[in-house]
Amino acid sequence: MERILAHTIGAHEGKDITLMGWVAVRRDHGKIIFIDVRDRSGIAQCVFVSSNATLYAQAETLRPEWVVALTGTVSKRPESMVNTDSTNGAWEVKVKTIDILNKAETPPIAIDNDGYEIGEEHRLTYRYIDLRRERLQSNLRLRHEVIAFMRDYLNDKDFVEVETPIISKPTPEGARDYLVPSRTYPGKSYALPQSPQQYKQLLMTAGLERYYQFARCFRDEDTRGDRQPEFTQLDIEMSFVKQEDVMNLIESLYIETITALMPEKKIQQIPFPRLTYKEAMEKYGSDKPDIREDKNDPHLLAFCWVIDFPFFEKTADNDQKWTFTHNPFSAPKPEYHDDLMAERNIGDIIAAQYDLALNGYEVGGGGIRNHTREALRKVFNIIGYTNEEIEENFGHMLKALGSGTPPHGGIAMGIDRLLAILANEPNIREVIAFPKTGDARDLMMDAPSPLAKHQLDEVGLELKKK
């Protein structure tokens, strides 16, 4: 008999069906036992009566989280027993047979509530059980729906989804790389990408013109509550565009996504307001301001663009040295191009960069790029790289830009952070299936973990404890 999902049993009233799922709750009422069976769609109440002694004895043995398959007849519940809180609360299944597919130990954490009161370390150690709770199932489905909608939206606008490498060349882009030592090339290492920044620009050189990717990114940053060693961003790059084109695309994408999938949400202002970096800092003291008119409204979404960032700033440890504020591949706004090329008025150069803020969080950032090698080289000169360092780290990019690269620009949108805000969750770990802790540990897999001596020997490494 074909398996039926729990939330559809009402459509099969009077018929025999098969359900498969987990025992959520068992309730004994003397000569009758009620079992709530949970599957991916919801819960169905199943009834065992004592007149069938064998079946009733089986029901008495059932425990929470056992996996079962059962057949039975769908019938209307008595009016007094209708559960109005459930979509199928007017029906139940009178069980005829049951098959225990797998038994389960007593769950180490409760999953019949939202789970916020349970210590996160305990939840993440047993994440495969934690994910059974309705709240997290809903979050992962929302994640799927948002990504699917965005993918369809971009496909309809002639974007091409391209996967870029996960092991690549270590490059200085702001955060520390996760390194992957090479066994076949002793003394050399790959790195996990902080972002697909260089690859997506090289795709513009290749003539793709419109690229996107839901990219996995990796940054070995100091621990912080709402960061993860690996995260997901919607990465976009477009050729022959100006700043306005990229911003308009993202604004439309986000408005349509939220309107279609979460109509209960209210976007405070459309089009999204725009603040210069200077205005944001002076008015809000932040370059990711929370401009909500009512911070107690959980469904209010206050987007705003922050633009006109300084291109360069003095380094924290040396006020005689410059560094970039976003990334070195950005272009200056056109009116500052001559200053960049002449290496003058460096502190006054404004970059063609733009960030999108939402309710006090940065949810995306991008820029128009330097598409000539002369301009990109000037950026590296200003931040103090020698010609040898430029060639060693970025020679491939300079060579590519000299091969006929069109003007281009793009953006990277933080998917985890957006979803956490849309789901009214306190942090991004609640919308990621298997997150690390705030201090970058995977408690479920016990990672990071020690390496065996032979593994270290194969790649020519010796690890030292600090």
Inform me whether the pLDDT recorded for 174 exceeds 70.
no
Mean pLDDT of 225-230: 84
Q: What is the domain extent for residue 18? A: 6-102
Tell me which residue of 350, 330, 351, 340 sits closest to 407, measured CA to CA: 330
In this structure, the answer to whether residues 150 and 45 fall within a common structural domain is no
Query: Which CATH number covers residue 161?
Result: 3.30.930.10
Q: Considering the domain boundaries, does residue 393 fall inside one?
A: no
Q: Considering the domain boundaries, does residue 182 fall inside one?
A: yes
Query: Which CATH number covers residue 88?
Result: 2.40.50.140
Q: What is the DSSP letter of 90?
A: T
Question: Is the pTM for the entire model greater than 0.75?
Answer: yes
Beta-bridge partners for 75: 92
Averaged pLDDT of the chain:
94
Mean pLDDT of 38-48: 95
In this structure, the answer to whether residues 150 and 85 fall within a common structural domain is no
> pLDDT band for position 199 (50/70/90)?
very high
* Residues 287, 353: Cα–Cα separation, whole Å: 12
Digit-coded pLDDT (tens) for 413-450: 999 999 999 999 999 999 999 999 988 999 999 999 99
Tokens of 107: 């769950």
Phi, psi of 294 (to 5 degrees): -140, 100
Beta-bridge partners for 91: 76
Among the ranges given (21-35, 79-93, 197-211), the one the predictor scored with the smallest mean pLDDT: 79-93
Inform me whether the pLDDT recorded for 230 exceeds 80.
yes
Phi, psi of 432 (to 5 degrees): -115, 135
In this structure, the answer to whether residues 67 and 146 fall within a common structural domain is no
> pLDDT band for position 364 (50/70/90)?
very high
In this structure, the answer to whether residues 189 and 298 fall within a common structural domain is yes
Q: Considering the domain boundaries, does residue 276 fall inside one?
A: yes
Q: Considering the domain boundaries, does residue 48 fall inside one?
A: yes
Question: What percentage of residues in the chain have a pLDDT greater than 90?
Answer: 86
Chain-centre distance of CA 442, in angstroms? 17
Inform me whether the pLDDT recorded for 394 exceeds 70.
yes
Tell me which residue of 372, 373, 371, 329 sits closest to 351, measured CA to CA: 329
Q: Considering the domain boundaries, does residue 284 fall inside one?
A: yes
Inform me whether the pLDDT recorded for 239 exceeds 90.
yes
In this structure, the answer to whether residues 280 and 420 fall within a common structural domain is yes
* Residues 430, 414: Cα–Cα separation, whole Å: 15
Between the CA of residue 232 and those of 178, 255, 260, 309, 382, what are the distances in Å?
Answer: 16, 20, 22, 24, 31
Residue 172 has a pLDDT of 66
Mean pLDDT of 323-351: 95
How many separate domains does the chain show? 2
Phi, psi of 219 (to 5 degrees): -140, 125
> pLDDT band for position 222 (50/70/90)?
confident
In this structure, the answer to whether residues 201 and 298 fall within a common structural domain is yes
Mean pLDDT of 302-331: 91
In this structure, the answer to whether residues 137 and 174 fall within a common structural domain is yes
Question: Nearest-5° angle of CA 433, CA 165, CA 387?
Answer: 125
Residue 225 has a pLDDT of 65
- Cβ contact 304:275 at 8 Å: yes
Residue 206 has a pLDDT of 98
> What is the DSSP track for 23-70?
EEEEEEETTEEEEEEEETTEEEEEEEETTSHHHHHHHHH--TT-EEEE
Mean pLDDT of 155-180: 90
Mean pLDDT of 119-145: 97
In this structure, the answer to whether residues 56 and 170 fall within a common structural domain is no
* Residues 223, 441: Cα–Cα separation, whole Å: 10
Residue 80 has a pLDDT of 84
> pLDDT band for position 171 (50/70/90)?
confident
Mean pLDDT of 274-288: 97
In this structure, the answer to whether residues 148 and 81 fall within a common structural domain is no
> pLDDT band for position 235 (50/70/90)?
very high
Residue 85 has a pLDDT of 81
